[in-house]
Amino acid sequence: MYERKIPLNLNCGLDLIGEVLYGKWKIRLLWFINEGHQRPSELQRKIPDASRRVLNIQLKELEGHDLVTKKIYPVVPPKVEYSLTDFGKTLIPVISVLGQWGDDHAERLRSLILKDS
């Protein structure tokens, strides 16, 4: 793995949630898994801008943080399904709030974001 050089701080709740949720695609992964897209290939289809590699990596991190579980069926070709853990499910309302805010202010945000370079 990568050994960090700048120590992380885990003081407050914001630090903590940041630690498990940062990562460009993690939130979307959780969201789509929750919607029932459990297999890696489906997830890739849902998130075409992410490379296959990063999705794997971030899924593994989510797994390491007990937010998702991975079930491997011993068949060939392999079949894999991810599911949210109970812990992971508690994040759904949180993600929902984030998405809702973005949706509520979509127009405005889009123009604000596009205006600066």
- Where do contacts with DNA occur on this chain (CB under 7 A)? 2, 4-6, 22-25, 39-41, 49-54, 56-60, 70, 72, 76-80
Q: Is 77 in a helix, a strand, or coil?
A: coil
At a CB cut-off of 8 Å and minimum separation 6, what does 58 contact?
Answer: 23, 24, 25, 26, 29
Q: How many residues are listed for the chain in this entry?
A: 117
Q: Which helix (H) or strand (E) holds 81?
A: strand 79-84
Task: Tell me if 80 contacts a second copy by CB under 8 A.
Answer: no
Task: Tell me if 104 contacts a second copy by CB under 8 A.
Answer: yes
Among 5, 74, 78, 117, binds a second copy (CB under 8 A): 117
The residue ranges that bind a second copy (CB under 8 A) are: 1-4, 8-10, 12-20, 27-28, 31, 49, 61, 64-66, 87, 90-91, 93-95, 97-106, 108-110, 112-117
